[in-house]
Structure 1
């Protein structure tokens, strides 16, 4: 379908050194787009070399750095057509894990996750919208999560809170930007194999518990998300804005845990 083509478009992907971000960048590059990869890690240079793409080291929590990133892309490539705002972290225990209960969680851990997942998104959304409003065209695609759509006891408090706020931001921005020709949508992945929770191996019991909550009986892969991302970047989704698109193997159709699994007094 010609409406799925993005071969003449300039694309930014944040959080692009690995995981979902890298797979989205790879898919866009394979479709012929000019792709800019941004990440806080120097590994973004190796990731970009694999794709013949352009690398940028950027801390999304720094508003000046984000503005410089977006301005640099427009200066070098002439415009910005698509922005995948994907940067995010977790690495904090859930309420089902030691240290993750509401009365045990440190404020520093809360702030660390919110600073990237919410403040960082705000900076990126603000700067990409600034450019696209002037162009009167563009597609902004934000990585939310099924954790932002319902309670997920296997996920940390700050992650759930940040992703719920992301959903609200996407819908609000979509209303403002619609008449400027700019679309804002979100991906809401379920459990996907990435390094967002850290590089330490997951326990067999945790892995099995997650798989048991997914009707398709497997974790997602970044490639399971990239096709949906391509759709939202392209003209095939030209009448879609303010939408949250779930890809989770059917997990959100189930109750995640039974009441007996929830923490409580002995």
Structure 2
């Protein structure tokens, strides 16, 4: 189990107030890491911190504010004299599925597109950039980005902006991994399928919507957030020492179709 031991390490997880971010933060804390939980929602952030096992702290942060995000990462490194793990998880979805009339090309609004691009892509790039800046001099780091199966294949249940940003994240992982490979810093992605989270206002919790998503999954069910913990711990730990530039689907078999 030493391969998965994070004792003494410091981790940052964005979007850690709920859903996949909260589950990943719990996995790292359970393995011994001191976890900085970052989120824009103070209520869910406090709740996540209250139930976090082991050591942790909260950081009220809007990742769309690039200056604040960079400053936060620099401050974590300064206060703890290290940042070993950074998980760029915060993100949003906007707009209906492209299967519906409201989600077709002609209906995509500029403001909506720009908001999703800034949250789902620019914030991930900024997190990777800032984390790499403090990890490279120390010769060690684990950077993880939350992508989506919608970034690996055409996914009829999501909108254009979401699919485009998640595809870009997959390639951003590859690109940055190559640059950082000789510096002891790995960059990998996780591509979740449908999980029971609060994204899109938690609409996947609606039984009808959940049933629609489940029909696209070979396992015929929606995943629980805790089912992301294993791959998050793998990519954050010494166990993944020879893995970089990959995005791993956690999708109930969707990518096998």
Q: Deviations over 1:88-137 (max 9, x none)?
A: 10032111234111111111111111110011111111110100111111
Q: Distance in 2 between matches of 1:135 and 1:61?
A: 27
Question: For residues 21-54 of structure 1, what are the alpha-carbon distances to aligned partners after superposition, in whole Å with 9 as ceiling and x for unaligned?
Answer: 0011111112211110111111213322322510
Equivalent-residue separation in structure 2 for 1:249 and 1:46 (angstroms): 29
Larger Rg: 1
Q: Which residue of 1 aligns with 2:79?
A: 76
| 2:32 aligned with 1:32 | yes
**Pairing 1:198-217 to 2, within 5 Å after superposition:** 198-200=201-203, 203-217=206-220
Separation of aligned partners in 2, 1:198 and 1:236:
35
- What is residue 132 of structure 2 aligned with on the other side? 129
* Cα distance in 2 for residues equivalent to 1:50 and 1:97: 39
Aligned residue in 1 for 2:12: 12
Separation in 1, partners of 2:115, 2:237: 33
What is the distance in 2 between the residues matched to 1:97 and 1:194? 22
* TM-score (ref. length: structure 1): 0.92
Unaligned 5+ residue runs, structure 2?
none
SS of the equivalent of 1:199 reads helix
Deviant stretches of 4+, over 6 Å = none
- Cα RMSD (Å) of the superposition? 1.3
Q: Give the number of equivalent residue pairs.
A: 254
Q: Is 2:253 the partner of 1:227?
A: no
- The 2-side partners of 1:121 and 1:140 are apart by 10
Aligned equivalents of 1:214, 1:157: Cα separation in 2: 20
Q: Deviations over 1:55-85 (max 9, x none)?
A: 0011111111011111121122110001111
How many Å apart are 1:202 and its aligned residue? 5.1
Q: Please say if residues 61 and 123 of structure 1, whose CA atoms lie closer than 8 Å, have aligned partners that are also in contact.
A: no
The structure 2 residue matched to 1:109, chosen from 112, 117, 126, is: 112
Shift of 1:203: 4.7
Q: 1:209 to 1:199 in 2, by over 3 A?
A: closer
Q: Find the counterpart in structure 2 of residue 2 from structure 1.
A: 2
SS of structure 2 residue aligned to 1:142? strand
Unmatched 5+ stretches in structure 1: 255-266
